[in-house]
Amino acid sequence: MRWWFGNRLLTTKSKVEGQENPPNVIVGFKFYEVQKYLATTGHMTVTLSIMTNNRWFHIGTITPPVGMIMYVVCGIGKISALEFSREIWPFVVALVVALALVTFIPEITMWLPDLLLPAR
């Protein structure tokens, strides 16, 4: 019996010693869940600009809190963000209406190309 248990222990010990488990692999398995989500967000940011209309990005650049264009214009024109926001709302409303029209009535998008290149 001792011989059988000895060989059994040797076999299992050899399998464990045969694996290469550097510390970075062990730490990598600990953060596997985090890595899954980080990997998917990288793909999302690359493909999001392809799937999304550019008007969404432009509306976001002129409105607070992210509005990069707003901060640049306020810095150059020496005006406050509140003053800029009061003046920009008619343009934001026009952009949202145009976005809604193109989104819900897609024929508007192809109206001019259909005039220039009629169907044969």
Residue 116 confidence class, pLDDT cut points 50, 70, 90: confident
Predicted TM-score (pTM) of this structure: 0.47
Q: Are 91 and 55 in contact (CB under 8 A)?
A: no
Q: Could you tell me which of 116, 118, 120, 69 has the C-alpha nearest to residue 91?
A: 69
Average pLDDT of the segment spanning 14-25 = 61
- Residue % of the chain over a pLDDT of 70: 52
pLDDT higher than 60, residue 22: yes
Residue range(s) defining the domain that contains residue 78: 2-116
Q: Determine the Cα–Cα distance for residues 119 and 117; give it in Å rounded to an integer.
A: 7
Using one digit for the tens of pLDDT, what is the confidence trace for 72-106? 888 999 999 888 888 888 888 888 888 888 888 87
Between 7 and 101, where is the model more confident? Answer: 101
* Tokens 């819900």 belong to residue: 104
Alpha helices in the chain, H assignment, sequence order: 2-18, 23-30, 32-51, 54-62, 68-77, 81-104, 111-116
Domain count, the chain: 1
